[in-house]
Amino acid sequence: MAENLEKSLEHMLDYVTCVQRSELFTNEEYRTILNTIRKHEGKMNGLHKSVLDFQWGMEYYLKFLIDVQDRINELNESTKNYNDLLWLIRKKITNVFYKGAHFFPNDYDFNILYFKYLQKDKSMENICVSHIKNLIQKFGHIPKVYRNIAEYYWLNDKYKSAQNYLLQGQARHPECIDLYVALIELELQQTQKPDALVKGLVKTYVKSMMEHNVSRKGLEEVYNLVVSYRDCDLQNTKFVLKQKDIEEFIFEKLVELHKDDPEMWKFLAKKGLKEKQCVITRYHLAAKCYKQGLSLMTSSKDILKRTVIGTFVNALKEEVDLSLDDKDNIKRCILDIFNYDPHEPASLDKNYFIDWLKFYDLVNVEFSEIEEIIEKAHTLHPDEEFFWIYHIKQLMKIEDFDKVKVVFKEALNSLGPRSFNFWQFYLEAAILSYSQSEVMELYKKVLQEPDLEFKTFFKDHYLQWAINNLRVDNTHDIYFNLAMEKPFNKNMHSRMYEAEMKANTGDKEIFDKIFKLWKQQFGTEDPEVYMCHMRYIKTKGKYINQPMLMVYEEAQRNLRDPKHREMISLWAKDVHK
């Protein structure tokens, strides 16, 4: 290994000497380059070689070549003065490749890295052509090698050569989508060809895809490609694409082969929604597509119906500034897909119902039009919170509060007593619409539930509402009644303390009761109670040292966790600064 490394470094002597003499680099940069080369050569000549070492080496020299060329350009000097250096760097890149290829002849990525370098360097054109033959010979079993080679000729305006390699690949890998896409894109860019010839070739490739059972996604990818060319604004966009001939041909083939696949109709409808048309036209195109699907499908119609409304809900969420007329028009065009009756077997599905209600919300449908759907949803899915919450929201919008209370009772009977999300929604809605006494009755009702976590959350919720909506002195009874009832909740104590401090009542008796209760329940585990107590004492101004010391000593006696005791010590020191 040492001998190989020494020999390799001897071969590098001309190279590093030339780098130094070029004066393109500072002494420090030169030392960095030399150290990097030594490290790289050591890895390439080591016992445990990895293709990644050679790949890293080639990438390093490629970047180094670009750096040298950039520095020469900045000096505005002729490259002739640096020909020796440039030649040595290119030679080094080639040597690294051949050495790596010797040890790892079948590594595709390593060979392609070298190929990409050859493509960029015009002086290496002959070597590039030779390397292409090597790539085909070694990696012809990999479809993407043909695309990589075709792109080289494509970028150099050698259309015929690019086409030949793609056709070679397509003949060897007739199921490869990527090669068909490349062939079709190549044709679409041939502005000098007669339109009829382009159409014919594209259709031939599409038929070949069908003959070789290329997947639906393959045809969809080709369809996307054709549409993108039709929509682009480049001057060389072919007129044939504006006429949609090829697009309609692919559409027909998709329908012919995949008419019973709901995902295919969803794909086509989404394309309609993305057309560069006015909003109503886009929705009509998508609706027309779905209606065609429902008329042609022999199976999976219910799946498609579920797909339809979900597609339009997602699209409508992204729309902005739709007028009421637009929304009404969209509603009618979508209902037309279902012959104005969406309540078919598909409606038995819970998510289908939910999507319909979301859709009606987005197009501002009157409650009277959807009441029947909501009632049907309750009948089929009585334990689904979404429908009860949605129903109450709609009733509150029209301020039918008597009906809200009826539906609320029905919901509790259907959902059971522990429906957390429903209770949370209803209480927050009630706060906005009901009197204080009605809200308090609701809180008392929810706190009768036996679940401890449920109860803990809503006790705190109730106290927060009381603090926000009642005078602080009117919350004392609520606080003490809730706080003394299990399960205990330390948030309630800190919340009441903060409310008293903010109100600046100065009621020592109340503060003493809060701290006493707080310490009884959490005095061994919550350092906050002692910090709040000392903070309160500090507001009293004079003669506070003794009371502060008493609370501090109490904390040190009662807190079990040493970290909590240390926290109190640090806090107390900070307070006395």
| DSSP characters over 338-370 | TTT---SGGGGSHHHHHHHHHHHHHTT--HHHH
Q: What is the pLDDT of residue 454?
A: 82
Task: Give pairs for 392-400: CB < 8 Å, separation 24+.
Answer: 392/425, 392/426, 392/429, 393/429, 394/367, 394/370, 395/367, 396/429, 396/433, 397/367, 398/367, 399/433
State the Cα–Cα distance between residues 310 and 314, nearest whole angstrom: 6
- Single-letter amino acid, residue 550: M
Give a yes or no: residue 91 inside a domain.
Answer: no
pLDDT tens, residue by residue, 173-193: 999 999 999 998 888 887 667
- Single-letter amino acid, residue 473: D
Give a yes or no: residue 442 inside a domain.
Answer: yes
State the Cα–Cα distance between residues 195 and 239, nearest whole angstrom: 8
Give a yes or no: residue 239 inside a domain.
Answer: no
Tell me the pTM: 0.65
Helix intervals (H) in 259-321: 262-273, 279-296, 301-317
Q: What is the pLDDT of residue 13?
A: 57
What residue numbers bound the domain in which 375 lies? 370-446
Segment 436-447 mean pLDDT: 89
pLDDT tens, residue by residue, 14-58: 566 777 677 777 778 778 877 877 777 767 766 667 888 888 888
R_g of the chain, CA atoms, integer Å: 38
342 prior amide bond cis, ω within 30: no
- Comparing 80 with 308, the larger pLDDT belongs to 308
Helix (H/G/I), strand (E/B), else coil: 274: coil
- Comparing 341 with 399, the larger pLDDT belongs to 399
State the Cα–Cα distance between residues 169 and 146, nearest whole angstrom: 6
What b/e string do you get for 214-245 counting C-beta neighbours within 10 Å, with b at 16 or more?
Answer: beeebbbbbbebbbebbeeeeeebbebbeeeb
Helix (H/G/I), strand (E/B), else coil: 297: coil
Q: What is the pLDDT of residue 187?
A: 85
State the Cα–Cα distance between residues 509 and 326, nearest whole angstrom: 64
CB count in 10 Å sphere of residue 64:
17
Segment 510-523 mean pLDDT: 88
Give a yes or no: residue 430 inside a domain.
Answer: yes
Q: What is the pLDDT of residue 150?
A: 92
Q: What is the pLDDT of residue 168?
A: 94
C-alpha dist (Å) from residue 462 to 20, 478, 491, 563: 79, 9, 12, 33
Q: What is the pLDDT of residue 575?
A: 63
What integer best gives the mean pLDDT of the chain? 83
Q: What is the pLDDT of residue 1?
A: 45
Up-side HSE of residue 467: CA atoms within 13 Å toward CB?
19
Listed range (225-234, 348-357, 508-517) with the worst mean pLDDT: 225-234
Give a yes or no: residue 82 inside a domain.
Answer: no
C-alpha dist (Å) from residue 1 to 43, 92, 394, 397: 10, 20, 81, 83
State the Cα–Cα distance between residues 186 and 159, nearest whole angstrom: 8
Q: What is the pLDDT of residue 139?
A: 92
Counting the structural domains of the chain, the total is 1
Structure tokens at 263: 């995902």
Residues 103, 49 contacting (CB under 8 angstroms): yes
- 192 CB-near residues (< 8 Å, 6+ apart): none
Segment 323-348 mean pLDDT: 79
State the Cα–Cα distance between residues 284 and 269, nearest whole angstrom: 10
Q: CATH number of the domain at 415, please.
A: 1.25.40
Give a yes or no: residue 431 inside a domain.
Answer: yes
Q: What is the pLDDT of residue 147?
A: 93
C-alpha dist (Å) from residue 242 to 195, 233, 238, 538: 12, 11, 7, 80
State the Cα–Cα distance between residues 230 and 188, nearest whole angstrom: 10
Element (H or E) spanning 372, and its range? helix 367-380
pLDDT tens, residue by residue, 356-414: 888 888 888 888 888 888 888 888 889 899 999 999 999 988 888 889 889 988 998 88
Segment 132-159 mean pLDDT: 90
- pLDDT range class, residue 341, cuts 50, 70, 90: low
Q: What is the pLDDT of residue 141?
A: 93
Give a yes or no: residue 403 inside a domain.
Answer: yes
- 177 CB-near residues (< 8 Å, 6+ apart): 209, 214, 215, 217, 218, 221
Helix (H/G/I), strand (E/B), else coil: 488: coil
Give a yes or no: residue 520 inside a domain.
Answer: no
- Comparing 215 with 238, the larger pLDDT belongs to 215
